[in-house]
Chain A
């Protein structure tokens, strides 16, 4: 115990003194999950001797920090949970062009000159198997009376992937599905994890558009919950990794991308129940090739972001 206390004290002092000093260390800002970045950076340090400083929050909070730091940025590598970030940062000219040799097995739609996917999550229906409701197989199933007042929808304003799903589905039928869901008592309930929690306890039966890896992880822990990918199609959320062009440790940052895409790094991605970006890495879960993806034009969807959110707010907004 005393030894532990000592190491903690030392840790606190060391963090206080050295956190701001970067030798050949790289700084990675990432949107969760924490366990993945912990494993990745430990493995990377072991292999290369380069230390990794990590800041982890939601995509929104990571962006807020980068925006506030813009006059004197410190981040070398950014891993976001929304591909939109990669597009926008590239447009601003903030990214360094780099194609990792390990990216050869990453499909073309998951990489650009300046960004490459770390892993991919997909959205599905998270369903409580003990909820006493029939197993849903389609998005529209959740408008049936069996699910009256039992459906949570993650807030599209707070979750990038939820927004893409909602926009893609709304495009197909002019928001009819969302109006039907609302008529069936569905509610918009916080970001992804917040929407899932009531389903675990049983207050709700299903999440309309849950992030799959969080739900798979809960299932692995023994929660009575399952993920269903509707056959009519869903959306995926690739998580882009980027090197920032202001980085003073560009070589080290590139090495980090290489490591992330190595066999070892991609195995860690698969272990957190995300789909690995490389198609040749096995994973214990459905992969992109198993899913049907909705067809939509990303630029168009994001171009109308404000209008789409406003329409959804209008449908679900105040009583």
Chain B
């Protein structure tokens, strides 16, 4: 049973969330939709509405691209679940030796930009790549295929599922399963019928994020898929935008198709979750004691080690060896080792240090803004009965599958209109808007799942004792969702500081970010310098959040 959240008290939160969503999501999205309908919008004209529908939707390749997109998304979701769910469950319920170390190692793939990881895999597995130089054989045929693409993308995205599962299963705890055991269920039965279903919000939300990320990802399908003749919608969209004559309306229409796919999975997830209650966090204290692994210790440790090596070790080693090579053609040889590339970065050549500073400031800004708007939107959707909260929920999901390059075009169309008295366009703020738009779904999905597990009676109890709705939110609900919110914000920080596709198009003149810096080095053939920059960025994006979390833990804000 849900208690009415008190519209009077909750309204300011809702209004703030709506205002933020309109600026960050609705404006660029409407610009993209209008561009799809009015092909000459860029020139400020509304002539010829719907004239590009037939040419775009009648394209014979479209069905193939759409089918490939769904196929790839499905494969990545399946593979991520297969790898991450068992690991996450073990992490949550059992005492895993070196647990914090595994957490860090499985966090790193987040921090490796997908296009860098893909390049690392190519340089490792292709003929005469690092694997062949070390072991004498290569695995190129596996890499340039649907299988290879799925694997590379899975290693990049499965941490989303791993952390969501380990956290939600931990929150559900062993208590409910223990009740089942008391009533005679076997351990397996108690897990399948009680623990796993109760963890469904986190699991479903994370799988949906993985699906959206997979169908929106550009770098990996572009690098691996084209060679296998595997075209997806995003590569089609990119081609329409960057191939002269540019077809913005066509790209806009294909993007809307992509967004529709992600919306369908979102509605399916909502439908599954709406059928029952997942409230497990009540007022009662829960014992968080974990069980020993027993005989499973060795196999579980091997599983953690193998996954960590493939997801973190291989790409990082490939990046590092490339960055430390004087020449690529010199290969792995002692006399080919050189620190020139790192020296170039630290001597600020080509603006490397400024790019780092730019990206990290933007990353922090994006994390703060999306965290704030995200928690307000999630609260409004889950805990209030305000009419139109479904619209808010849908708005938070729209950017999920909107390709970065389309967000960029939408932002230019919206913010570069001549009659605007002031505009963030061509300032750093346009990048902030772009990152917020692309990454807002992360904090919203994480905190929504957290709110869904909090019993309404907690807030109600606070209200009974005279707390205002705002006080109840601040003193009761916010601390309870804070762990989820904090990890989502750290994730946003990492993703924002490496975002490439939108940055390349929308960056203000003269401004470089980490990703555009790396990309320009690659374009000019300076792969080593690009990789050195990537390695430094990965190191900082991993260490900075860890430091923050440690500090938060010391101050008692985050438990565990």
Footprint of B on A, CB under 8 Å? 4, 8-9, 11-12, 15-17, 19-20, 27, 32-35, 38, 53-61, 63-65, 67-72, 74, 82, 84-85, 88, 128, 130, 155, 157-158, 160, 187-190, 193-194, 196-198, 200-204, 214-215, 217-218, 221-225, 317-319
Question: Cα distance A319–B230 when bound, in Å?
Answer: 9
Of the candidates A20, A38, A74, the one having the most CB atoms from chain B within 10 angstroms of its own CB is A20
| Residues from chain B with Cβ under 8 Å of A59 in the complex | 244
Question: Cα distance A197–B223 when bound, in Å?
Answer: 12
When the two chains form their complex, are residues A12 and B361 in contact, meaning their CB atoms are under 8 A apart? yes
Question: Cα distance A38–B350 when bound, in Å?
Answer: 9
Indicate whether B257 reaches chain A with its CB closer than 8 angstroms. Answer: no
Contacting A at CB under 8 A, from B350-402, are 350, 353-354, 357-358, 361
When the two chains form their complex, are residues B127 and A70 in contact, meaning their CB atoms are under 8 A apart? no
* A55 and B509 contact, Cβ closer than 8 Å, known pairs A71-B416, A222-B327: yes
When the two chains form their complex, are residues A60 and B510 in contact, meaning their CB atoms are under 8 A apart? no
* A155 and B226 contact, Cβ closer than 8 Å, known pairs A64-B505, A68-B248, A200-B328: yes
* A61 and B505 contact, Cβ closer than 8 Å, known pairs A32-B524, A197-B527, A202-B331: yes
| Residues from chain A with Cβ under 8 Å of B228 in the complex | 318-319
Indicate whether B307 reaches chain A with its CB closer than 8 angstroms. Answer: no
Question: Cα distance A1–B222 when bound, in Å?
Answer: 40
| Residues from chain A with Cβ under 8 Å of B244 in the complex | 59-60, 63, 82, 84-85, 88, 160
* A54 and B510 contact, Cβ closer than 8 Å, known pairs A201-B129, A224-B329: yes
- Nearest Cβ distance between residue B72 and chain A, in whole angstroms? 14
Of the candidates A128, A188, A198, the one having the most CB atoms from chain B within 10 angstroms of its own CB is A198
When the two chains form their complex, are residues A34 and B329 in contact, meaning their CB atoms are under 8 A apart? no
Q: Report which of B126, B129, B239, B525 forms a contact with A218, defined as CB distance below 8 A.
A: B525
Indicate whether B427 reaches chain A with its CB closer than 8 angstroms. Answer: yes
Question: Cα distance A84–B350 when bound, in Å?
Answer: 29
When the two chains form their complex, are residues B223 and A190 in contact, meaning their CB atoms are under 8 A apart? yes
When the two chains form their complex, are residues A157 and B239 in contact, meaning their CB atoms are under 8 A apart? yes
When the two chains form their complex, are residues A63 and B242 in contact, meaning their CB atoms are under 8 A apart? yes
Question: Cα distance A88–B243 when bound, in Å?
Answer: 13
- Nearest Cβ distance between residue A168 and chain B, in whole angstroms? 18
When the two chains form their complex, are residues A158 and B243 in contact, meaning their CB atoms are under 8 A apart? yes
Q: Report which of B127, B508, B523 forms a contact with A193, defined as CB distance below 8 A.
A: B523
* 20 A/B residue pairs, CB under 8 Å, sorted by A: A9-B357, A12-B361, A32-B524, A33-B523, A34-B350, A55-B507, A63-B246, A65-B412, A67-B246, A68-B416, A71-B42, A85-B244, A193-B523, A197-B122, A197-B328, A201-B328, A202-B331, A203-B126, A214-B525, A217-B525
- Nearest Cβ distance between residue B27 and chain A, in whole angstroms? 14
| Residues from chain B with Cβ under 8 Å of A55 in the complex | 507, 509-510
